C-alpha cells in the first residue's frame, strides 16, 4: 500500500484480542505449519508497528471506504 497515504488508515487497538487471534491462526491453518510461524511473525511485527502509532501494544489498520458523494446545495 505504498500508494496510500498513512494518514488514511484507521488504526484499532487489538491488544485485548491478539492472543486469541494467534490461537485462531494456529487452529485454522494447522496444515500450513511450515509457513505459519513466518506469517505470525510478520503479523505480530505489523501489529506492533500499528500499535506504536496509537500508543498501544498491538494495533490493526483499516482503510475506510471513501466513495465520492457529490455535494448538493439546497436552495430554500
Q: What is the dihedral of CA 33, 19, 41, 3, to 10 degrees?
A: 120
For residue 49, how many other CB atoms are within 10 A of its CB? 13
The pTM score is: 0.72
> Is residue 64 over pLDDT 90?
no
3-state secondary structure of 2: coil
3-state secondary structure of 3: coil
> Is residue 1 over pLDDT 80?
no
**Predicted pLDDT of residue 63:** 83
**Predicted pLDDT of residue 75:** 64
pLDDT band at 23 (very low <50, low <70, confident <90, very high): very high
Residue 38 is placed in which grid cell? 513466518
Which helix (H) or strand (E) segment is 38 a member of?
helix 33-53
| pLDDT (tens digit per residue) in 27-51 | 998 898 889 989 999 999 999 999 9
Amino acid at each position: 500500500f505504498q500508494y496510500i497515504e498513512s494518514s488514511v488508515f484507521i488504526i484499532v487497538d487489538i491488544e485485548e484480542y491478539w492472543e486469541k487471534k494467534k490461537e485462531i491462526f494456529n487452529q485454522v491453518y494447522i496444515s500450513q505449519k511450515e509457513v505459519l510461524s513466518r506469517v505470525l511473525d510478520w503479523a505480530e511485527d505489523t501489529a506492533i508497528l500499528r500499535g506504536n502509532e496509537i500508543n498501544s501494544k498491538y494495533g490493526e489498520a483499516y482503510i475506510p471506504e471513501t466513495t465520492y458523494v457529490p455535494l448538493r446545495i439546497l436552495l430554500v
